[in-house]
Amino acid sequence: MAEVLRIAHLNAWYGESHILHGVDLVVNKGEVVTLLGRNGSGRTTTLKSVMGLVGRRAGSILVKGKETVSWPTHRIAHEGIGYCPEERAIFASLSVEENLLLPPRTGEGGMGVDEIYDMFPNLRERRKTAQGTKLSGGEQQMLAMARILRTGADLLLLDEITEGLAPVIVQALGRVIVKLKERGFTIVLVEQNFRFAAPLADRFYVMEHGKIAEAFPAAELQDKTRMLHEYLGV
- Specify the pLDDT at position 27: 98
% of the chain surpassing 70 pLDDT: 98
Average pLDDT rounded to a whole number, residues 36-40: 91
Per-residue model confidence (pLDDT) at position 234: 63
- Run of H or E including 98: helix 96-101
Model pLDDT for residues 140-166, shown as the tens digit of each residue: 899 999 999 999 999 999 999 999 899
CATH of the domain at 156: 3.40.50.300
For residues 67 and 7, the answer to whether their CB atoms sit within 8 Å is: no
The residue segments making up the domain with residue 112 are 3-232
Residue spans of beta strands (DSSP E) within 162-231:
186-190, 203-208, 211-217
Average pLDDT value for residue range 109-118: 90
Tell me the three-class secondary structure of 124-178, residue by residue: HHCCCCCCHHHCCHHHHHHHHHHHHHCCCCCEEEEECCCCCCCHHHHHHHHHHHH
Q: Are 30 and 180 in contact (CB under 8 A)?
A: no
Digit-coded pLDDT (tens) for 67-94: 999 999 989 989 999 999 888 788 888 8
Number of domains in the chain: 1
Q: Residues 44-67: what's their mean pLDDT?
A: 96
CB atoms near residue 59 (< 10 Å)? 16
pLDDT of residue 63: 97
